[in-house]
A and B are shown apart, each in its own frame.
Chain A
Amino acid sequence: MEDDAKLRETVLAYVKDEYIDDEDEAEELTPDTPLISGGIVDSFSMVSLKVFLEKRYAIKIPDEDATPTAFDTVAKIVELVKRFKEGK
């Protein structure tokens, strides 16, 4: 079972790898950088992140919980994953 720090690191690494081309921008990305409201990830491309989280952590995030707000920062995504892992 991953601890919080490891979970955060995994999600951050995935977001950088999946959505960011520019190395400088990847450097600047923190757990609190707004991803969707900040225009880094569009809400439609968010689908691949949801699929990744569900596979990696063997959870199911219902569509009503996979909102742009819930996915807006790495920190929020980590909270969401934790909630569903605990609820399992």
Chain B
Amino acid sequence: MAYSDKVREHYQKTIKEIHEGGLFKEERFIHSPQAADIKVEYPEGAELASLINMCANNYLGLSSHPEVIKAAHDGLDSRGYGMSSVRFICGTQDIHRELQDKLTKFLGTEDTVLFPSCMDANAGVFEAILGEEDVIIADRLVHASLIDGIRLCKAQYDSFKHMNMDHLAQKLEMHQDKRIRLVVTDGVFSMDGDMAPLDEMVALCERYDSMILLDDSHATGFIGKTGKGTHEHFGVVGKIDIITTTLGKALGGASGGCVSGRREIVEMCKQRARPYLFSNTMPPVIVAAASRVLDIISETTERRDKLEQNTKYFREKMTEAGFDIRPGQTPIVPVMLYNAQLSQDMAKDLYAEGIYVIGFFYPVVPQGQARIRCQLSAAHEREHLDKAIAAFKKVGAKHGILGLKKKEIIEKFGV
């Protein structure tokens, strides 16, 4: 037998080490559609608990929206279930083209190509457009999928301190001898909820003759006055050379992603990006639903406006309650706890209080930066937020952290 006892023991040992390191990830089984109110089975076999979901990427509350579900049904009926093909053989329907065009218009770019996910978009884009004479200069906290994509490409790599524009300028200066420079950043950083200063970055890129790539997965649909994303917030629509983003978060939350930007870059992805060439096309049902999502958010800013109000309210009340909240304007609200065990204990206590949140710690965030990351949604009503805030206050008081600042929490609990 090829799967010998020795091999089995090897994996068992590794899994045990993951457990012992406190890094084991568990799934919680949700028995309802994705929404503000969900029913959860956890641990496995336990009775269902009714919880308020404060950790989904369902920013616009469109994941289970009736119009989106209807569009998915229509897509299924009119274009079938699967395409059984990659895009360039026989996997491109009229609705794929239509969705790409809508994304181009919404994002304010020249062209767009769909990928099975944004992870795939990020995995494919660098190798498709850069070679060993080129350099990628990335923010140190960019998403793991960008790092994976960068690793797959032959271009040279350098990085700059998180959102430090002086450091970025130094690096751009240093790499003037390269053929092509590409600066890479997230729009909204997923763990801290902070926004990359794209206006300054675009100015630096113009000064030092560099392209810029923006992964706007945690912004598309709701950041900026009409929800275009971080580039709209900073007034640089049309100046971002490459945007990668997802349909798996605010835009319906099913799956799919894209590379959107300069016409030639998009064409290069179609010719050379391996996840585009060798992975199945997005299924019609998701394409049809995502297309309806873009109509909804192009018709009205109601949902992103509500999300903005929810974000403001939750941030204010949690700060007033005495939590150490990373300042910012985005619906990603990190409640800083610094100590990994404390983040786990508090998440568990909040679960018992009917609030679904997750504690994050190293290596997902840097050492000593453990936190509970809350994510707001337009699906949250004021009552949801008030219940969540009350539960946080109760659990925060139990652990004696209300009113404590970073230094005091670390003194009390260590890192």
Verify if B134 is at the interface (C-beta below 8 Å from A).
no
Q: Which residues of B contact A40 (CB under 8 A)?
A: 367
Q: How far is the CA of A39 from the CA of B161 in the complex (A)?
A: 14
Interface assignment of B45: CB less than 8 Å from any CB of chain A: no
The answer to whether the Cβ of A48 comes within 8 Å of any Cβ in the partner chain is yes
- Which chain A positions have C-beta within 8 A of B147? 44
Q: Smallest CB-CB separation from A38: which chain B residue?
A: B367
Q: Is the interface of A mostly helix, strand, loop or mixed?
A: loop
Q: Is the CB of B162 within 8 A of A39?
A: no
- Residue A47 at the B interface, CB < 8 A? yes
Least Cβ–Cβ distance between B158 and chain A, in angstroms: 5
Task: Give the contacting residue for A44; candidates B157, B363, B367; CB below 8 A.
Answer: B157
Are A48 and B363 in contact, CB atoms less than 8 angstroms apart? no
B-contact bits for A24-42, CB 8 A (1 contact / 0 none):
0000000000000011101
A21 touches B158 (CB 8 A): no
Chain B nearest CB from A43 CB (Å) reads 10
Residues of B within 8 Å of A47, CB to CB, are: 157-159
Within 8 A of A (CB), among B363-379: 363, 366-368
- Which applies to chain B's interface (DSSP): helix, strand, loop or mixed? loop
The interface bits of chain A over 53-84 (1 if a CB of B lies within 8 angstroms of the residue's CB, else 0) are 00000000000000000000000000000000
Cross-chain contact A21 with B363 (CB below 8 angstroms): no
Q: Which of the residues B140, B151, B157, B367 comes within 8 Å of A39, measured between beta carbons?
A: B367
Asked whether, in the complex, the Cβ of A39 is within 8 Å of the Cβ of B159, the reply is: no
A14 within 8 A of B: no
The smallest C-beta distance from B219 to any residue of chain A, in angstroms, reads 23
Cβ–Cβ contact A48 & B159, under 8 A:
yes
Residues of A within 8 A of B368 (CB): 39
Q: Counting CB contacts under 8 A, is B362 at the interface?
A: yes
The residues of B that contact A45 with a CB separation of less than 8 Å are: 140, 159
Could you list which residues of chain A lie within 8 angstroms of chain B, going by C-beta atoms? 18-19, 21, 38-40, 42, 44-45, 47-48, 51
| Chain B interface (Cβ < 8 Å from any Cβ of A) | 140, 147, 150-151, 157-159, 161-162, 164, 362-363, 366-368
